[in-house]
A and B are shown apart, each in its own frame.
Chain A
């Protein structure tokens, strides 16, 4: 059995090399790393909000140097008109009232907390420091997790499809129906190749963009999440390839997956767009699992892992059925 598995594994590696899959993955790794190291952490750094204080009675004695005092309410309104991201604090009534030029639900709270924390008013508004990440390490981890997710769900998913469609079109899959080996090994070998490829990608991506010492701490959890996502995507790609006629049909299905699977997850996890049902979306949990793993707070709920294993087993059984059906087909090349 081991010998058969090795034959299949070796052949799959050759197929992936000839399909230039590893080259594409390596190219993606370089582009992502260049973007994170020379783009994202340098140019995507949001400036601090300016905080303006109107305190005609001088009630605030110890204020931060980052606060700009203004002489009148008119001046406060004028300065907020020109600095729309700024936050005004009006203490003319004796208690601090927050003034915005405009705002949105999530960033209002964020900006208000920040502005009030600068007043040092009896430490009542001291901002919490969550984790030990610096701004740069936070940015690196955030982008690393997002790009890793994209790589596995997009590049890896399309990669398995392109390799399998080639094999399907050559008809070579059908020969395996009459070869003396357990047919499940064919699927296992493919999954192993893609899983190893994704795990190596995850290690390199984490080490190159988060740093060796930080990566060493988070890697075990990142690899577990990568393995879960990689197996789900590889099995989904395998199943689609077996059930769909050609790569064109697959591309259409992929667009549907992007619209209904990836887009809501990204929107919900990274923007202020709220979706009440997102908790029911399995990919949301996998994505958040990966992101949390990158931030050193891996998922500890066993239900998540039980559900993931169940999903992988169900997908495997579906793929096995589709694979047997494909082997039994007849027709020209």
Chain B
């Protein structure tokens, strides 16, 4: 679906944003693109969505070179959720969606009310102006806008931003459903839980370079220290020990009365993020 080879981009003579990125995204894959602010995530996404021109290297989408592919036909096949819910505040959710969907052929459009309902949008707000909506409601309308044209390739930038935990769960479920239909998802996020739960593969980008690219599971395994933390009770006292995993092969290698918990010392995706990018999440 997406193929990127030696992608470079510069905003000026001394402002090189991307330094030869290489990655590919398969059909129906959810690909996570993670990196700190200013790392080149948005620049990459803008190049892929045809907003930024003048890149170096080779980029192809739908099997066609992106330099020649940015026709109306290309835009009909993609859906984009921006980092912020860009909507007409004076129009209602329905009017916004009617307006944005009017640029697509009718046969590829989904039903507005149905999609809003699926996103658990409050029905009594459908015809009220967006200016009266909460951030979560605006995000739902923006997601509906991205999905309304049944895109084959979906670019999502911080999709669960501004949502409460149940809203985030709902969005993750909807993204999974889209993938199940065959939609490819390019996910840009800071939310490590989203990346961990949704992505088939993730790439860490920092200073315009991809520093790691693999499945979340393998990335964690590669950086695992192969230890477990065991909490136990012995002679009425609660104690804790960290041991190497091979030591467990012959059973618990210390005296104990009761095992309370066993935690692997596997790093989280956030640990990976900090390790690869050298920066914490902001």
B49–A178 touching, CB < 8 Å: yes
Chain A residues in 8 Å Cβ range of B51 = 177-178, 327-328
Contact stretch, chosen from A7-15, A53-61, A235-243, A302-310: A7-15
B88–A170 touching, CB < 8 Å: yes
B229 CB within 8 Å of chain A: no
B102–A172 touching, CB < 8 Å: no
Compute how far the CA of A72 lies from the CA of B106 in the bound complex, rounded to whole angstroms: 94
Q: A interface, by DSSP: helix, strand, loop or mixed?
A: helix
Contact stretch, chosen from B27-35, B74-82, B211-219, B233-241: B74-82
B88–A172 touching, CB < 8 Å: yes
Chain B residues in 8 Å Cβ range of A7 = 99, 102-103
Total contacting residues, chain A, CB less than 8 A: 27
Residues 295-333 of A contacting B (Cβ, < 8 Å) = 327-328, 330-333
B249 CB within 8 Å of chain A: no
| Given A14-B91, A172-B88, A328-B46: A178 and B103 interface contact (C-beta under 8 Å) | no
B84–A175 touching, CB < 8 Å: no
The contact size tier of chain B is 20 to 34
Compute how far the CA of A333 lies from the CA of B85 in the bound complex, rounded to whole angstroms: 8
- Residue from the list B73, B88, B103 in contact with A179, Cβ < 8 A: B103
A81 CB within 8 Å of chain B: no
B82–A174 touching, CB < 8 Å: yes
B119 CB within 8 Å of chain A: no
A178–B72 touching, CB < 8 Å: no
Chain A residues in 8 Å Cβ range of B50 = 177-178
CB of A100, distance to nearest CB on chain B (Å): 62
- Residue from the list A166, A174, A328 in contact with B86, Cβ < 8 A: A174
B49–A175 touching, CB < 8 Å: no
B103–A333 touching, CB < 8 Å: no
Compute how far the CA of A328 lies from the CA of B50 in the bound complex, rounded to whole angstroms: 9
B86–A172 touching, CB < 8 Å: yes
With a 10 A CB-CB cut-off, give which of A4, A180, A330 has the most chain B CB atoms: A180
8 contacts between A and B (CB under 8 A): A18-B90, A170-B88, A180-B76, A180-B104, A328-B46, A328-B52, A330-B83, A333-B85
A contacts, CB < 8 Å to B: 3-4, 7, 10-11, 14-15, 18, 166-167, 170-172, 174-175, 177-182, 327-328, 330-333
The 7 closest A-B CB pairs, nearest first, are: A171-B86, A180-B75, A7-B102, A180-B72, A18-B90, A178-B80, A177-B51
B contacts, CB < 8 Å to A: 42, 46, 49-52, 72-76, 78, 80, 82-91, 95, 99-100, 102-104, 145
Besides A170-B88, A179-B100, A181-B72, 19 other A-B contacts (C-beta < 8 A): A7-B103, A11-B91, A166-B90, A170-B86, A171-B86, A172-B86, A175-B86, A175-B145, A177-B49, A178-B75, A179-B75, A180-B72, A180-B74, A180-B76, A327-B51, A330-B83, A331-B84, A332-B84, A333-B85
